[in-house]
A and B are shown apart, each in its own frame.
Chain A
């Protein structure tokens, strides 16, 4: 409906810091009205009020409302708890879960202003992002995720009872090591509900096992090291989804372990869009809580005190410390995202000559449409490549540093000036490209006729080596695969070097 905007008569919803269920309901209703006026499309909302301890719990399970048990979650919990107790870390004001209904946690310690901010930020900002962004649409199914998590938890529980905690734990360890390599970047996965999932799981168990046996039905020959290249390679194309490959093709893996691999893979997939849209997602949510709460004020629902308090915490969130500040910890996604969103609105509404030159297609367009289009069709990498304006580069005073191992000194390759804009924009965009920030590792070949060994290729870019954790990961992969695993590195000249092999022949240890 919207209040009469002409004569701004104060009709405060509340005054003072205390919140109550009733007040939350009132704020929610009015914020929902405003969001609706702005045309935000959201899943239904569910607000859950939790205590600080419960927030710590939620942290530890990386935002999954229901998680299976694993020591690594305990580790995160302990370390968060430690830093929280020592006052080294504040808790996030909210956690929001990409599900339908969209679950947002409100902490009881928050005051009324914070609760309103969280409602605007999570229930309308993040929520509409989850519903609108193409990556989330492609990769996650908000309706099914809770069911799937329950299925996963129960399944893993059952396995623990059947096969022992240690056994399950070690499989999970191995899967977690490869979790980031459990995504098929180009195929669309299809979502299914829990009931179906349970039924299928049984069928899959039997079917998969028979398939695998088919693949391995020849008794291995004595290994002959010089294979003729004419023989068809398996897999015929290199596979980037290592977990998927293991799940489908590991020669001697018992069915329950395949199912666990699948669970970890599915959960990794669920988080895949979040890893790729951090800047956009936070930027969008921050932009909307800012816009909505300002509108709330303009319509006379909140007091000056409320707004001053709000602006203070908002400013904290979107601060970007300089690279030489002791508080610097990379680029703050809230700051970058919020400023880019605001900047797009500015370009739409009041473009300068420079903006018209750089963004002819969005200057002087309706900002809501343009912004929604941007939210829906990009991820961080492409969003930055598309929309980072020279003005923002100047505001942030971005500069680019080249760090070449072979040279003694670092070099500043570009700064915020005419000749640098393009370069900085490209580099910053690359910085958010997962395939640049994560090493490119693919399954290259399985020795079908020989010792069943698995060969992986690491394609080196810019001569960057793998970190020293690599050996451990290869051991984990060996545990899953059950036969030798070899990792080859291929540099830009096409030269191959073996960087990890398991089991290691020299030191024969399990």
Chain B
């Protein structure tokens, strides 16, 4: 008999198989993820995601008996039956009778499981990349991180590295003492050979020499400034990893709740996506009708306003907020605007001007989604002229819920595989 302790062996023997499973059902998992996006809050992402896929898709078929026919079965625990009794057929799947579920997880219609938030993101944003992912130029250094960088002979006392210093002291002492000690040994040996009474003169000379040597040895300092070593730190400039995302939405009377829900999905995707690249992502919600206002998430999505639409009001507010709080040299700024395309006629020109002249030069990427099934209106046309002159501006039209994810992917598709992806049909 032998006992083998396997606890320290690798744990994740099944990881490969798990990955195989996820790989095989990627498309179903993707679908499940896409279906669930609307149920998440914009910033509520640190959860792992529950996935369910139809269990008929993952069943493993075998030849087996189906229902029907004539069957006999033995059951334990008879209470009141006697031979010949007739019993009402119980409804299928009820109580002890009824067939057993064929396999774990397959008895239900859905096979549900969790994937980690990392896996979730990977699947959601497969093949996507952030456009213009330049770190902000370090003209004004925003952050320093102090890092260790070896040792120095100079510094403040609090940075003394005791072990290193004592090592140095010991080495120095050994090195300086060694010749003196050798000499001392030699002299002591000589002294042992002569008798004080016979040769008093050489004797006293030797003793003097010995005491002088001993004094010298003693004078060697235990620790010297020369021994001291200081921990050295240097400051490393850190590129900023802060990002801010501006959500701009039209809440005028023409935007109904459903349209807002669609916009919300789009914002969620953008937020999740930014979160993957930046450590901290702040979100600024700006809603507007004829006037713009900065609001919290709840108000942004769910409060109802009426009135006309002046898009430039939101753009102006955004510009002000950037000036106040989010210096473009410190922050990576992203903006997403959703609207149904309505705008005050004269205003669209002004929007174009605002974007063209100031906003677009300050933001990493500006996306505009128009949620409507009508013909594009003047805002769309004005914006369209921006697409060619600015490569950090993108616009798309969304008609139904199902367009959102494809459109999002379209915005952020990796350049190299730009042709592969085609929108999932509904």
> Could you tell me which A residues sit within 8 Å of B by CB distance?
21, 24-25, 28, 32, 44-51, 53-54, 56-58, 60-61, 69-83, 101, 108, 123, 165, 169, 173, 176-181, 320-326, 328-331, 396-406, 408-417, 419-420, 424, 427-428, 430-431, 437-439, 441, 458, 460, 462-470, 472-473, 476
Contact = CB atoms under 8 A, between A and B. Distances in A.
Nearest to A57: B13
Contacts of B75: 323, 398-401
B86 interface: yes
Given A82-B105, A177-B61, 15 more contacts: A45-B1, A46-B4, A48-B3, A72-B60, A328-B95, A397-B78, A404-B69, A405-B67, A409-B88, A414-B83, A415-B78, A415-B83, A424-B74, A465-B65, A465-B66
B268 to A, nearest CB: 26
B112 interface: yes
* 4 closest residue pairs by CB, A with B: A322-B77, A464-B69, A74-B21, A74-B17
B419 interface: no
B80 to A, nearest CB: 10
14 contacts: A21-B5, A28-B3, A48-B4, A54-B9, A69-B17, A71-B25, A72-B21, A74-B20, A74-B21, A74-B22, A81-B113, A179-B62, A401-B73, A405-B69
B14 interface: yes
A403 B24 contact: no
A79 B5 CA distance: 27
Interface in B34-90: 58-79, 81-89
B87 A79 contact: no
Interface centre among A32, A75, A108 (most CB of B within 10 A): A75
A74 B18 contact: yes
A46 B4 CA distance: 7
Interface string B167-197: 0000000000000000000000000000000
Given A48-B6, A51-B7, A462-B71, A61 B24 contact: no
Given A54-B9, A403-B70, A469 B64 contact: yes
B11 interface: yes
Contact of B6 (A54, A60, A322): A54
Contacts of A69: 16-17, 20
Interface string B158-173: 0000000000000000
Nearest to A404: B70
A505 B105 CA distance: 34
B279 interface: no
B104 A79 contact: yes
Contact of B19 (A74, A82, A417, A472): A74
Nearest to A24: B3
B72 A464 contact: no
B86 to A, nearest CB: 4
Contact of B62 (A49, A177, A323, A396): A177
Given A431-B74, A437-B65, A439-B64, A47 B3 contact: yes
A437 B112 CA distance: 30
Most chain B beta-carbon neighbours within 10 Å: one of A24, A54, A83, A470 = A54
Contacts of B4: 46-49
A365 B73 CA distance: 33
A108 B113 CA distance: 26
A142 B126 CA distance: 46
A54 B9 CA distance: 9
Given A25-B3, A71-B21, A79-B113, A473 B83 contact: no
A403 B74 CA distance: 11
B77 A324 contact: yes
A402 B72 contact: yes
A476 B61 contact: yes
Interface of B: 1-7, 9, 11-14, 16-25, 58-79, 81-89, 95-97, 100, 104-105, 111-114
Nearest to B76: A396
Given A328-B96, A414-B83, A180 B1 contact: no
A70 B87 CA distance: 45
A323 B96 contact: yes
Contacts of A404: 69-71
A322 B9 CA distance: 42
B97 A323 contact: yes
A401 B77 contact: no
Nearest to A59: B14
Contacts of B1: 28, 32, 44-47, 123
B76 A323 contact: yes
A194 to B, nearest CB: 21
Nearest to A456: B63
B20 A50 contact: no
B94 to A, nearest CB: 11
A325 B5 CA distance: 41
A70 B21 CA distance: 8
A176 to B, nearest CB: 6
Contact of A411 (B6, B19, B85): B85
B19 A397 contact: no
Contacts of B86: 409-412
Nearest to B22: A74
B93 to A, nearest CB: 13
A400 B74 contact: yes
Given A70-B17, A330-B100, A411-B87, A467 B11 contact: no
B108 to A, nearest CB: 10
B76 A54 contact: no
Contacts of B20: 69-71, 73-74, 165, 169
Contacts of A78: 18, 21, 113
A380 to B, nearest CB: 13
Contacts of B85: 411-412
A328 B24 CA distance: 35
A468 B65 CA distance: 9
A325 to B, nearest CB: 7
Nearest to B101: A329
B63 A473 contact: yes
A101 B1 CA distance: 9
A463 B14 contact: no
B14 A82 contact: no
B70 A462 contact: yes
B17 A467 contact: no
Contacts of B5: 21, 48-49
Given A61-B13, A398-B75, A414-B83, A466 B100 contact: no
B368 to A, nearest CB: 40
Contacts of A25: 3
Contacts of B67: 405, 465, 467
A76 B114 CA distance: 14
Given A409-B89, A413-B72, A419-B83, A473 B62 contact: yes
B89 A400 contact: no
A321 B66 contact: no
A472 B57 CA distance: 11
Contacts of A81: 113
Contacts of B23: 71
Contact of B63 (A77, A419, A420, A470): A470
Contacts of A323: 75-78, 96-97
A472 B61 CA distance: 6
Nearest to A394: B78
A396 B22 CA distance: 45
A390 B74 CA distance: 15
Contacts of B72: 400-403, 413, 427, 430
A410 B21 contact: no
Contacts of B81: 399, 412, 415
A177 to B, nearest CB: 5
Nearest to B112: A82
Given A71-B20, A323-B77, A467 B64 contact: yes
A60 B105 contact: no
A181 to B, nearest CB: 7
Contacts of A428: 74
A431 B73 contact: yes
B7 A108 contact: yes
Q: Which of A78, A460, A470, A476 has the most CB of B within 10 A?
A: A78
